Structure 1
């Protein structure tokens, strides 16, 4: 018994159908803003309910699958739920609800242009995220990965300013270029040597390719999935901060960058296999590349006065924790990587929500201009503080869990480079987040208490609470992460 209300196949289909229909409804209701936004909220809640039902079955041991199209032997467009995909699906569906509530307050409060385009493209991006997270093979993942890139381009360029259009060009050229030049050849190579692209527990490349070739193939996947922002393919992310804050939240927390690290972790677990990578040593090089990205991005964040730019480079750094943990190729490290995907999502969306609220209420974008803002916006900056503590990795916040597992894995593997990177970067995280909190609460306040619109405050308070709840009640993500590696 799975305890599911719907069949697994029906839930898989609805996970795609709901956001797709939402996009159509939003376009049809373009001249009726209240109905348009109601359609967004209803769709987000409906998807959340379907995903919770699906999660209930997966936790009970169900692994539903659905073939959408059979193309050739070993090639199909198919959906299949595994624990890692379920984790990503649950994160995206939950945060779509929070972001929808927040977006209503932000887009109206700032009188942003092209709001129908925003809501419609956001729904398409969620559609792509669902397909990517629930992909049963590399071909399906690649198709939805590309849809995600294309659907988020209009969001990055939403303001249509010269800066926004330039950011959009960098965004599209980097993500589409890397996926076509590196990721697609990696998938073709994988099919050529194995005759299949279907994900499998423990991977399916063992004995089919030598250690050196395996290292090269892994490199194609890592840099081909440029949404993970591993240096040097990271500049698209800070440039994209020209977009409205709800778009930044989508890029950093709900879908885009998570699609990158999810792809890398999925390939490590279900294509290469962590035991194979550990035995061959084919991922050892990646520990150093990811470690460099963690430290270098932290130093850039340290010197950034623009708040969203600081948060963007924090994301570049935090994503590479996940990549470095995957490269360690031990069960404990991979569990830590999966937990950090969840922790970073809920914490970073809180930080961006807070940044957008500060902009909406006070029109402040610079760290140096945030003196006393915590006294004028106590709810917003309290939430920011919780998100920041999570990014540093302090209890009782979600960020502690993933870092604890990753640190334990690095120490257990006697990889002192990784241990050093985690420790040094944690100090750097504190160095670029704590001064913001100090300025906000310890400096004198000028002006009355004035928060952003209620919808924005409700959303950021909810995600801040979620950051703490994920630490206190980590059972579901931890069960999914353990099931992913079979422990």
Structure 2
């Protein structure tokens, strides 16, 4: 079972994908059943591994690809943090996508690549070597591109070309770094305190720059973020997947692996690489927020918010202190819960009442109260208002900055929170305190959502909105995201 569980967890999404690809387009009911059964089965498998790892069990599966080159799936506390998030949100996003897309065209293709994307994300999380990571990292690129261009219009195709241009160049740069590193030290596995113990310092610095640059494309580090706002032409379930579960998280997760499990904190510190990475993350945090302020389209405002928020993970990784590391790791989950809530709500607003711009939000709270309550909770969390999850992340990052002797980070966090408030509070003010237009019809009167889909669009947002609040309110419990992030640091990254 120790070798079987990670294989089954990865295979569940992959098998779901293959079955859906084989279904005829008109087999809507069968497609829905396969989607939901696959997502539920994966959650059960992840739950079994969570219980096992918490009690000290280990899970590993190894397949020899070439002599000295293995495909390694290894379950540790860090990989489970990412896998649990993706499995939970895969189920909710599937429910949302079924309602959002209704009886649209090419749904077997859409849901097939949707599940393949989750399989690639699972592989990234479970990868135990650099080569294994890169294989799934590339599969993620190839499986998300059809989702970005799903609508097939000129804007979608242009966004898809930009997405491929950025991500393929990033992958080439990452591959160059991997080849350079393994050329020096041989096959690299992810291990506690890092793999590297020696090597030419200048070469290691350049290799680190290549790897972080390649990963930084998907993590949307400035100036490598240009693909992300343009990808917002994709359907709302795809936007939710890109921002909360898959692409940007894969980049940030990869940076965590490189810093902690390839180079190791001590070597990164000796090479003088931590501070430049922290500065790059801080610039991205502030730049993303400033750009979000300038956007009137709701999804584009949320996209630039993602550029900013994902770099909290990178910042926590670069500061090295235990509290900062906990803050960065837990934000991987917290940002996912809050951001997917915001995109769920943005999609529901567009489909049920035709609202896509900030200046059209007047009275939306009265017209769609549950949706806007969920949106408000997630937005306040992004600002850092307690007890929502975002407050916990920022608190630990702030304490960690002091612990690491980097008090300037407090200014970055403070400015970021002020900017977060500046681009989120006007939305909440318009939705709750301004009256709706006199001629505004009720929800679904002439929106684009299929009849009867309202609950499928609203319920997932309510669930993730409540989860965003609960992740902060019960942060002191051992099985909370914060408790699990603390366990990761205690077991894996503590001296």
Per-residue CA shift, 1:306-354, capped at 9, x if unaligned?
Answer: 0000000000001111112211122221111110000000110000000
User: Size of the alignment, in residue pairs?
Assistant: 476
Aligned position for 2:84:
90
Structure-2 residue corresponding to 1:66: 61
Deviation at 1:448, TM superposition (A): 5.4
Let me know the Cα RMSD of the aligned residues: 1.5
The residue that corresponds to 2:448 in the other structure is none
Deviation for aligned residue 1:61: 1.4
Instruction: Please state if 1:230 is matched with 2:231.
Output: no
Which of residues 180, 183, 189 is equivalent to 1:198? Answer: 189
Partner of 2:155: 163
Residue 249 (structure 1) shift? 0.6
Pairing 1:179–2:174 present: no
**Does the Cα contact within 8 Å between 1:298 and 1:428 map onto a contact in 2?**
yes
Identify the residue that residue 422 of structure 2 maps to in structure 1: 431
The C-alpha deviation readout for 1:408-465, integer Å capped at 9, x for no partner, is 1112223133221111011100110011000000000234553761111111111111
Deviations 1:259-304 (A, max 9, x none): 1100001111101112332344322111111111111111110010
Alignment of 1:23-422 (within 5 A): 23-30=17-24, 31-73=26-68, 75-108=69-102, 112-180=104-172, 182-210=173-201, 212-225=202-215, 226-422=217-413
**Partners of 2:286 and 2:412 within 8 A in 1:** yes
Match of 2:458 in 1: 457
Deviations 1:341-398 (Å, cap 9, x if unpaired)? 0000011000000000000111111001111111100000000001111111211111
**Match for residue 447 of structure 2?**
none
Q: Is the 8 A contact 1:275 1:329 kept in 2?
A: no
Give CA-to-partner distance per residue, 1:64-113, whole Å, 9 cap, x none.
1100224222x2111001111110000000000110111111111xx543
Q: Secondary structure at the match of 2:3?
A: helix
Structure 1 position 256, deviation (Å): 1.2
Q: Distance in 2 between matches of 1:449 and 1:278?
A: 58
**Whole-angstrom distance in 2 between the partners of 1:214 and 1:326:** 18
Q: Distance in 1 between matches of 2:313 and 2:200?
A: 25
1:206-234: per-residue Cα shift (whole Å, max 9, x none)? 33342x44433222122101110001110
Residue 478 (1) aligns with residue 482 (2):
yes
Hey, what does 2:449 align to over in structure 1?
none
Q: Distance in 1 between matches of 2:157 and 2:110?
A: 16
Please state whether the residue corresponding to 1:43 is helix, strand or coil.
helix
Query: 3-state DSSP class of the match of 1:8?
Result: coil
Distance 1:201 1:480, change over 3 A: farther
Q: State the alpha-carbon separation in 2 of the partners of residues 276 and 246 from structure 1.
A: 40
3-state DSSP of counterpart to 1:143? helix
Quote how far apart the aligned CAs of 1:250 are. 0.7
Following the alignment from structure 1 to structure 2, what is the Cα–Cα distance between the partners of residues 42 and 183? 35
CA distance in 2, matches of 1:194, 1:235: 34
Shift of the alpha carbon at 1:34?
A: 1.3
SS across alignment from 2:392: helix
8 A Cα contact 2:320 2:404, kept in partner: no
Distance 2:200 2:461 in 1: 48
Structure 2, gaps ≥5 residues long: 445-452
TM-superposed deviation, 1:29: 2.5
Retained in 2: the 8 A contact 1:174–1:236? yes
Moved more, 352-361 or 189-198: 189-198
